[in-house]
Amino acid sequence: MLRLQYLVTVHINICMKNFKYLDIDNMELVSEKIYNYIRDTTDILQVSPWNPNWLPLSLDVINQVPELGKFISDLNLDLRSIHVLRTWRTSKLHVDTRTDIRINFPVSNTLGSAVTHFYELKDCVRVEKFLQGYSYYDLEYSDQKIIDSYVLDRPVAFNPDVPHQVVHAVQETTPRLILTMSFHNSPTYLLDDEII
């Protein structure tokens, strides 16, 4: 008996998105609670306004703002670190040295003039630099093209290994305050873009 076996090959092309918006209920309320926590437990709102400021927060914030804890646990994520970032003006185009997928969460004034752009760069060379004790890659390149953009009007998972920059159209008079969170289990799956 002749038995024919047919091998069916399904091509799955998995590409990674640059970012993805995430849903959360009552975001304004959660942002307000986070803002109050930052105001009451750090001095980041008082320090000199003309430098970007980047400050680690206690993981206890997810106990003090349980809605944020629920948002993280609903995504099956194990929080590794959480920082608050305050900006007024356009940041340098850069790549982060830690390449695990992070989630940014709006806290206040994120509906100002700021837009986060992702870029494709030609002849790109990475140069490690340090700012406030944290390293990042400064980039040298011959040409740039914006390939994606988001406004932080809700939480966003994003890939910090893609060249990116927060562009403020004007210098803000009120700081833009966000949380950026990293996880022991990097949520790469959130950015999977499956094409069959």
Interaction site with Fe ion (CB under 5 A):
96
Q: How many CB atoms lie within 10 A of CB 66?
A: 12
Question: Based on CB atoms, which residue is closest to Fe ion, 34 or 95?
Answer: 95
Shortest reach from residue 164's CB to Fe ion, in Å: 6
Q: Which residue has the tokens 């304004």?
A: 28
Shortest reach from residue 139's CB to Fe ion, in Å: 11
Question: Based on CB atoms, which residue is closest to Fe ion, 18 or 96?
Answer: 96
Question: Based on CB atoms, which residue is closest to Fe ion, 39 or 141?
Answer: 141
Shortest reach from residue 36's CB to Fe ion, in Å: 26
CA distance 46 to 25: 30
- Closest residue to bound Fe ion by CB: 96
Helix/strand/coil for 60: coil
CA distance 62 to 174: 25
Shortest reach from residue 114's CB to Fe ion, in Å: 13
Distance of CA 178 to the CA centre of its chain: 9
Q: What would the two tokens of residue 183 be?
A: 């996880």
Question: Based on CB atoms, which residue is closest to Fe ion, 86 or 96?
Answer: 96
